[in-house]
Each structure stands twice: as C-alpha cells, then as structure tokens.
C-alpha cells in the first residue's frame, strides 16, 4: 500500500477536514445522551437537596464522574441547544488533539531509533481516518462528555508517560478516573514508568481521585448505590456468550471487567508492550459489558491508535481499520444479535492475543546507534504552540517539520 508523501502538517489538516465532514453529517441528529450531562452539570452546581454532594445518592443513573459534570456545567449559561452544539464542538476538537498527542508520544517513544518521521505521519493519518468516525460517534452522536474526557486525559497521560513525567502521568490518570470510572482499566500505564517513579505517580493519582470522589461518599453515604446501578443485558453483548444471561447486569460483571482490564494491562507492561494497555482495557469493557452502544468502540479505537503508532512500526495501521470494520461495520451488516456478540468476543480474543504475544520488532533495532539528525533537534512551532519545553531534547521536530529521517 503506497501512501503519498506528507509535508509539514498536511496530515493534521486532512484529519481536521475529515473530522469537520463527519461533524457536519452527525451533528443534526446528535446529542443523544447530552441531557444526562446537562442534568448532572446543573445538579452538581446546584444547592437543592438532590444536588451538590448528594448527586449520586439521589441520581444513581448518572454514572459519569464529577469532573465530567463540572465541565458540563460550564455550558449551563447557554440555551440548551446552543450549549449542546458548543459542547459537541469542543469534544470533537479534543479528538484532533488526541491525534497530535499520539504522534508526539510515538516520536518521543522511538527517539534514538532512526525513526522515519514521514512514515510516522503517514501512520497517524491512516489510523486517524479510522479513529475520527468513532470519535464523532462518542462526542457528537451520543455527546458522552465523560467518555471523551476519560479518553483525552488517558491520551495525555501517555504523552507524559513517554517523557517519564511521573507526577503529570499520575495527575492525568486521576482526571481520567474522575471523569469516568471505567478508566480504571487504563491504570497499568503507571507501571510503564521507571520503578523508582511508581510511588510518586501513584500518590498523585490516589490523592486526586480521593479529592474528587470522597466528599460525595462522606456527605451522602447512599452514594454507594450508584455502584449497584444496573442496565439491561443486550442480546448482542459478548457477555451472553460468557454465561451472563441475566436480564440485567450480572453482579460479577463490573468487578470482573475492572479486574480483567487491570490484569491484562499489567501483563502488557510486564512484556514491554505498554502501548497495548488502553486497547486491552477497552477490550475488557466491551467483552463484559451488558450493553453494546456504538460509542464504546471509541475507546477501542483509541487503543488501536496508540498500538498502531506507538506499539509497532508497520507503515499501515491495520488494527485501527480492523476494529472499525469489525466492531462498527458489523452493527449494520450483521442482522443476528447473537452473532454480533460472537463477533465482539472474537475481536477481543484475537486482538488481545496478538498485542500480547505476536512478534513485534524491537524499537532498539539496527538503527539503535544511529545519531539523531541535526534537523530532529531544532525547535519547531506546533499547531497548538511549542512542541516541548525549551532546553530539552526535541524528538518531534522532523515529525511536524516535513523533513523525514532517512
């Protein structure tokens, strides 16, 4: 597969146009779940008996994290329709920021290996073409601000992880958890830091999670009811193929989901494949969740994006497109609900085995001792400001400058 050469930030401009097209298509029928966020945003800033720190005790159906409601509340001053569109625009833009973060993270991760930045830009572009439609699904069609923030902060944590910044990585993972509890499955990313920095990252993460969540449980102990909230068990869920045939969420599903994500993520880090952590955590969610909303696939596509650009060095990011076609395409192409569940289960099984055990060329290959080209060490100005702190090594320069390493 031959991909045209990309100069300067052409790939980012193409992805921006692609996102704008999808936004225009989906926005007229979007905002399916925004009312949950708007309600939560009004309650968390409100002083009524069922608002403020009593929110989860009186509204266990609001399964989003407090950071999501705090951000959603910023749109309260606007008329409902205007606030929704502004929120959808912001969430869509965060998807483009994630693409930039993924590219920077990969450039930093492969620093010193003679990485061809032209090929890296091409990988980001091709993976992004698959990622953007699913991002618009979660950010516009469903307007799930909690998932958007959790995935954004996770991508930001990966960025700081590649810089070995323990405090920032821990803070970002805490913000992801404070936005959406299912981000717990991505927590093994902290283990990818050098061992001597685990404690620092863990303390920052634990402290900010406690600050965000504990006040609700201290003031209103009934908030624990939110953890027991159940939803219908969809006939198309992979959970039914694993013995979860109850009408609603089985008691064991949520704890097992979290445990599976944590275990698989820890194994990935142990095997030197930290770039697979998000994909494995997302897999644990979709295989053990009783529901099958299409926006769930956005977390899988973030996982495949990170794997395709940071976890391997193939030019064509196959897994991003496989995930899009198998998980999203089957929703429309396969009529049988049970078969859809089997397809989801099959994708999880195959992708999990692949990222954990398939041979991957070590990034410290024959180019390990090749000195960095001088171009790669010159400062450049990125789409959203400087690409790095002044005075530090600058591995992203050729990635955004249009000049590829040989």
Axis crossing angle, helix 297-306 with helix 145-162, rounded to the nearest 10? 10
| CA-to-CA separations, 334 to 328, 344, 346, in angstroms, rounded | 10, 12, 14
Rounded Cα–Cα distance for residues 57 and 166 (Å): 34
- The number of angstroms, rounded, from the C-alpha of 376 to the middle of its chain's C-alpha atoms is 28
**Which tops the pLDDT comparison, 314 or 336?**
336
pLDDT at 362: 55
Q: Quick one: tokens of 126? A: 């091709």
- Quick: pLDDT tens for 38-97: 999 999 998 777 889 999 988 888 889 999 999 999 999 999 999 999 999 999 999 999
For range 288-293, the mean pLDDT: 92
CB 361 within 8 A of CB 313: yes
Q: Quick one: tokens of 167? A: 């405090």
Of 108, 131, 39, the residue nearest 376 (C-alpha): 108
- Quick: pLDDT tens for 181-217: 999 999 999 999 999 999 999 999 999 999 999 999 8
DSSP letter for each residue of 348-400:
HHHHHHHHHHS----SSSTTTTPPPPGGGGS--EETTEESS-TTS--TTHHHH
Lowest-confidence region among 26-30, 45-49, 157-161, 249-253: 45-49
| pLDDT over 90 at 393, yes or no | no
Partnered with residue 385 across adjacent β-strands are 382
For range 313-320, the mean pLDDT: 87
Q: How confident is the model at residue 11 (pLDDT cuts 50, 70, 90)?
A: confident
CB 169 within 8 A of CB 193: yes
pLDDT at 140: 97
Please tell me the pTM assigned to this model: 0.88
pLDDT at 5: 58
Burial class of 120 by CB neighbour count within 10 A (0 to 12, 13 to 18, 19+): buried
Residue recorded with tokens 């949520």: 254
| pLDDT over 50 at 364, yes or no | no
| pLDDT over 70 at 108, yes or no | yes
CB 146 within 8 A of CB 37: yes
DSSP letter for each residue of 203-269:
HHHHHHHHHHHHHHHHH-GGGGGGGG---B--TT-GGGGGT--SSB--TTHHHHHHHHHHHHHHHHH
CB 399 within 8 A of CB 366: no
Axis crossing angle, helix 297-306 with helix 117-136, rounded to the nearest 10? 180
| pLDDT over 60 at 258, yes or no | yes
pLDDT at 234: 92
pLDDT at 383: 29
């Amino acid at each position: 597969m031959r991909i045209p050469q990309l100069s300067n930030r052409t790939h980012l401009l193409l992805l921006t146009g692609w996102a704008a097209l999808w936004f225009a298509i989906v926005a007229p029928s979007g905002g399916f779940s925004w009312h949950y966020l708007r309600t939560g945003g009004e309650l968390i800033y409100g002083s009524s008996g069922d608002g403020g720190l009593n929110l989860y005790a009186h509204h266990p159906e609001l399964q989003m994290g407090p950071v999501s409601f705090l951000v959603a509340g910023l749109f309260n001053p606007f008329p409902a329709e205007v606030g929704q569109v502004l929120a959808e625009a912001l969430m869509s833009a965060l998807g483009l920021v994630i693409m930039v973060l993924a590219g920077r993270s990969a450039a930093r991760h492969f620093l010193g290996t003679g990485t061809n930045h032209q090929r890296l830009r091409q990988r980001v572009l091709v993976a992004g073409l698959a990622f953007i439609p699913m991002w618009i699904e979660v950010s516009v069609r469903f307007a799930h601000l909690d998932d958007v923030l959790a995935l954004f902060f996770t991508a930001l944590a990966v960025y700081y992880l590649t810089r070995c910044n323990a405090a920032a990585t821990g803070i970002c993972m805490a913000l992801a958890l404070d936005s959406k509890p299912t981000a717990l499955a991505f927590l093994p990313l902290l283990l990818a830091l050098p061992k001597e920095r685990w404690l620092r990252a863990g303390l920052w993460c634990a402290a900010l999670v406690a600050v965000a969540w504990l006040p609700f449980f201290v003031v209103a102990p009934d908030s624990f009811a939110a953890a027991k909230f159940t939803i219908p068990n969809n006939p198309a869920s992979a959970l039914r193929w694993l013995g979860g045939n109850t009408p609603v969420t089985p008691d064991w599903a949520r704890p097992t989901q979290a445990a599976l994500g944590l275990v698989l993520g820890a194994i990935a880090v142990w095997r030197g494949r930290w770039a697979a952590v998000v994909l494995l955590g997302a897999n644990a969610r979709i295989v053990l969740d009783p529901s099958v909303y299409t926006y769930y696939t956005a977390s899988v596509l973030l996982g495949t994006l990170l794997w395709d650009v940071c976890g391997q060095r193939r030019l064509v990011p196959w897994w991003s497109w496989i995930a899009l076609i198998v998980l999203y395409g089957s929703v429309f192409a396969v009529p049988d609900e049970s078969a859809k569940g089997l397809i989801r289960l099959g994708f999880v099984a195959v992708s999990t085995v692949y990222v954990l055990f398939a041979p991957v060329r070590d990034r410290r290959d024959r180019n390990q001792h090749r000195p960095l080209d001088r171009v790669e060490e010159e400062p450049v100005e990125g789409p959203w400001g400087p690409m790095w702190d002044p005075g530090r090594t600058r591995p992203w320069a050729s990635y955004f400058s249009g000049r590829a390493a040989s």
